[in-house]
Every structure is written in structure tokens, then in C-alpha cells.
């Protein structure tokens, strides 16, 4: 069975919550994580899909994070294994919900034809506090990171129309050793493997921002404090 584009989701930022809420998880916040399914063809551009936006443009969007992909299998895990029945497809803010592929089987540089477009895997997603806020599961970003069920970003090599129900055709796989799962292990593993980290920085199709992050970590010789990313204002 081929890799299926199960659904396409887009959405612009919106503000929800209550400024005066006592519980941080209920306070006002703005995000584009609330995406809706698209019916029919939609254009994939070099920085995003038509009708899509990002609330935090410093950490989301742009040419190296034009499209967020997520595995349908991951939702089965969240719902059945952990009992998070409210975590439904589209809920992680993905643009492409993909079937029959996951972080173990997709790699940096994997290049696919999908509809008229050509997309290429650029880096893993580094989960932040926003999915946790959406679903009121405070440690969800940490769980995404620790399980490796993070999703991944695509850069767009060729713009064009895509549509849910189409199949991805693999055009090129230059770095099969750098699966998203392997990258996540290097980024978030309990043991810092600096040799592998240095090797990953040499991967020419890894997003420059991710390469810079790893190079800074190599300079410091220690892992960063992740609390502000995974818990942020939810604490």
C-alpha cells in the first residue's frame, strides 16, 4: 500500500481562552493549531498552503517549515494506548495527515511527488506547549518528544495543487539513515551522543535552523533547558 494523503488541514491564527482565568491552561492564547479539513484541491506554496497561517512565525512556517506532516498511526497511539480520546486527526496542527508512514520510516531529504507538488522532508517538529494547551493535557508536548511521535516538516521544491486521497510517490531518498525517529533520538535522547550529533549537522538537507541548533549545543556541550518549550505558559 502506498503512502496516502489521508487529509489536508489549514487554518489561520485565532485567539481563545479567558484572560482572567486562574488556571494557566484556560487563559487567553493565540495559535493557528486549530485547523480545518480541506475539501478538493488546494495549492501548496513555498511557505505554506493557501488558507494556512502561523501564530508564531519565529518558530513555525517559512520555506523550511512550509508544510507539517503527521502520521495517522500516531492518533491511534494517543487514543487507544494513552486514552486521549479527544486527540483527533488534525488536532496536532498538521497540514498533511499521512497514512502508512511514520517517524520510523520517513527520513531527512525524502522527496515526494504529491499531486502537482514536490515536497522534501527538512526536519523533525520540536513539539511546544500549544498542543498541550489545546487538549488540556499538560505534559502532551513532553510525551510527543519522549515517544518520538512529533511529526515532521516539508520544504516545497515545486508548488502545485494537492488533494486528500492522493498517493505520495517517492522520488529520492538520499539519507535513509537520518529517519525522523533517529533525529529525535539525537535531539531528545537522555544520553547526548555528540558524535552522532556532529554527523547529523553534516546532512546537507537538514534545515539550516535545526543544524544551527545542533551546532550551538555541540559548542556548549550540554542539552538545553526544554521547560520553556514543552510547558511554557501552561505552568
Q: Which residue ranges of the chain lie beneath pLDDT 50?
A: none
Burial class (CB in 10 A: 0-12, 13-18, 19+), 197: middle
Total number of domains in the chain: 1
User: Does an H or E element contain 10, and which?
Assistant: strand 3-10
Q: What is the pLDDT of residue 1?
A: 59
Q: Residue 64 has which C-alpha cell? A: 523550511
CB 13 within 8 A of CB 6: no
Q: Cα 30 from chain centroid?
A: 18
User: Does an H or E element contain 230, and which?
Assistant: helix 227-230
Task: Name which of 5, 3, 57 is nearest 162 in CA terms.
Answer: 5
- Give the whole-angstrom CA distance, residue 177 versus residue 106: 10
Summarize the chain as % helix, strand, coil (round to 5).
30, 25, 45
Kindly report the pTM of this predicted structure: 0.96
Q: What is the pLDDT of residue 61?
A: 72
Q: What is the pLDDT of residue 58?
A: 64
Question: Cα torsion for 96, 99, 104, 110, to the nearest 10°?
Answer: -60
| CATH code assigned at 159 | 2.40.33.20
- Give 50-72 as a DSSP string: TT---S-TTTS-SGGGSEEEEEH
- Give the whole-angstrom CA distance, residue 153 versus residue 40: 22
Task: Name which of 71, 53, 50 is nearest 61 in CA terms.
Answer: 53
Dihedral pair phi/psi, residue 51, rounded to 5°: 85, 10
- Give the whole-angstrom CA distance, residue 201 versus residue 116: 31
Classify 137 as helix, strand or coil: coil
Q: Residue 110 has which C-alpha cell? A: 525524502
Q: Which residue segment(s) compose the domain that 13 sits in?
A: 3-234
- Give the whole-angstrom CA distance, residue 77 versus residue 83: 8
Amino acid at each position: 500500500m502506498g503512502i496516502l494523503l489521508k487529509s489536508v488541514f489549514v487554518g489561520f491564527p485565532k485567539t481563545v481562552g479567558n484572560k482572567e482565568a486562574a488556571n494557566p491552561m484556560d487563559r487567553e492564547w493565540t495559535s493557528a493549531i486549530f485547523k480545518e479539513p480541506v475539501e478538493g484541491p488546494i495549492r501548496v506554496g513555498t511557505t505554506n498552503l493557501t488558507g494556512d497561517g502561523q501564530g508564531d512565525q519565529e518558530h513555525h512556517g517559512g520555506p523550511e517549515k512550509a508544510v507539517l506532516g503527521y502520521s495517522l498511526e500516531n492518533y491511534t497511539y494517543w487514543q487507544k494506548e494513552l486514552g486521549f480520546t479527544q486527540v483527533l486527526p488534525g488536532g496536532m496542527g498538521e497540514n498533511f495527515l499521512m497514512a502508512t508512514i511514520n517517524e520510523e520510516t520517513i527520513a531527512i531529504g525524502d522527496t515526494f511527488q504529491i499531486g502537482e507538488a514536490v515536497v522534501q522532508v527538512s526536519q523533525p517538529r520540536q513539539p511546544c506547549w500549544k498542543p498541550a494547551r489545546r487538549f488540556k493535557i499538560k505534559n502532551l508536548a513532553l510525551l510527543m518528544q519522549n515517544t518520538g511521535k512529533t511529526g515532521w516538516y516539508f520544504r516545497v521544491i515545486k508548488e502545485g495543487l494537492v488533494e486528500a486521497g492522493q498517493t505520495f510517490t517517492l522520488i529520492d531518498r538520499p539519507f535513509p539513515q537520518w529517519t525522523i525517529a533517529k533525529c529525535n533520538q539525537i535531539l531528545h535522547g537522555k544520553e547526548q551522543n555528540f558524535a552522532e550529533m556532529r554527523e547529523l549537522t553534516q546532512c546537507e538537507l537538514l534545515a539550516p535552523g535545526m543544524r544551527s541548533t545542533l551546532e550551538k549545543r555541540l559548542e556548549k556541550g550540554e542539552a538545553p533547558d526544554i521547560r520553556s518549550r514543552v510547558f511554557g505558559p501552561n505552568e
